Amino acid sequence: MTEHDEGGLTDRKFPTASEAAEQADKQAPDTPQTRDPAYKLAFRDTDFLLREELRPVRFQLELLKPEMLLDEAGVGSTLVMYGSARIPPPEAVATAREGAANLPEKERIVVERLAAKAKYYAEAYALARMVSEKRIVDGGQRQFVVCSGGGPSIMEAANKGAADAGADTIGLNIVLPHEQAPNPYVTPHLSFQFHYFALRKMHFLLRAKAVAVFPGGFGTFDEFFELLTLVQTGKLKPIPILLFGREFWKRVVDWQALVEEGVIGARDLDLITWCETADEAWGHIASFYDLET
């Protein structure tokens, strides 16, 4: 008797959930009892799964689904890229400036400042493409797979750079009150959608071997400062944290004041590696992991 024969040691003794669901559909008579939601298989009852009491189960599902699919895709580690959803690509700068010509001065200045940051779209694209072209594989798994929030601007630049290198790239979108769709450069089978910010941020860092942070707003601050906190407190082993845009970050965060006020230590600032170019960023990553540049 082989292991595939009936009664073999590796034969499955119970039907799969999909087989059980199919069987239930075929066998259920149409009666008041079977039409009531109470009769639905629990795992097929969406209304039940969305109940307030089922939140812990939904947490687990949002943890498990991306984890399992990334494992199946052979993703060993990621290069995570955070940044604004509002910075225009270089090719859109002229149009943005033309559109702002007749705006009030304060609004025009904002457009100009965003346009000036278009260089970071270019650097995010360059870094993602550079790393993706290296095709680093270790332990049979792909390393430094580019991962972004899946949205526009800096996130789009990251996914586009990887896609143009012919590499798979990850997008971690989230349901928001305003419409948001994955940018077109995210690999479809690595495009995930989240309800819980906490689970999304966990997936950003579970496989991260380096994080590149570009100028951004509240979302970028949230992700960046949580990362700093995790490393500072020893919850996460040190990894390269590559901060692009010294002029921007020193204007919006008074790092030295945090030290002088005693709320962080001077050595905490060593967690940050300042960068302006993709070449600089990859040099720091390669040095940290003793990789060829």
Three-class SS string for the chain? CCCCCCCCCCCCCCCCHHHHHHHHHHHCCCCHHHHCHHHCCHHHCHHHHCCHHHHHHHHHHHHHHHHHHHHHCCECCEEEEECCCCCCCHHHHHHHHHHCCCCCHHHHHHHHHHHHCHHHHHHHHHHHHHHHHCCCEECCEECCEEEECCCCCHHHHHHHHHHHCCCCCEEEEECCCCCCCCCCCCCHHHEEEECCHHHHHHHHHHCEEEEEECCCCHHHHHHHHHHHHHHHCCCCCCCCEEEECHHHHHHHCCHHHHHHCCCCCHHHHHHCEEECCHHHHHHHHHHHHCCCC
Q: Would the pTM count as exceeding 0.75?
A: yes
In a domain, 99, yes or no: yes
pLDDT per residue as tens digits for the range 56-114: 999 999 999 999 999 999 999 999 999 999 999 999 999 999 999 999 999 999 999 99
Inside any domain, residue 52: no
What's the confidence (pLDDT) of residue 85?
95
How much is the pLDDT for 228?
A: 98
**pLDDT classification of 7: cutoffs 50, 70, 90:** low
In this model, does residue 2 exceed pLDDT 60?
no
- State the pLDDT at residue 182: 95
| Percentage above 70 pLDDT, the chain | 97
Given this model, what pLDDT does residue 5 score? Answer: 53
Q: Report yes or no on 161 lying in a domain.
A: yes
Which residues are 80's β-sheet partners?
A: 147, 211
Of 97-101, 219-223, 284-288, the one with minimum mean pLDDT is 97-101
Residue 112 falls inside a structural domain:
yes
pLDDT the model gives residue 10: 77
Domain assignment of residue 178, yes or no: yes
Provide the pLDDT for residue 293: 79
Q: What is the CATH number of the domain that holds 250?
A: 3.40.50.450
Predicted local confidence at residue 6, as pLDDT = 59
Computed from CA positions of residues 33, 35, 38, 39, in that sequence, does the dihedral angle turn out positive or negative? positive
The residue-averaged pLDDT of 167-194 equals 94
Residue 4: is its pLDDT beyond 80? no
Q: Distance between CA 163 and CA 90 in Å, rounded?
A: 18
Label residue 1 by pLDDT band (50, 70, 90).
Answer: very low
Number of domains in the chain: 1
Q: Is residue 105 part of a domain?
A: yes
The residue ranking higher by pLDDT, 160 or 2, is 160
Of residues 33 and 200, the one with the higher pLDDT is: 200
Residue pair 217/151 in contact by the 8 Å Cβ criterion? no
89 within domain boundaries: yes
Tell me the residue range of the domain where 145 lies. Answer: 71-289
Predicted local distance difference test score (pLDDT) of residue 3:
47
pLDDT category at 26 given cuts 50, 70, 90 is confident
Q: Is residue 282 part of a domain?
A: yes
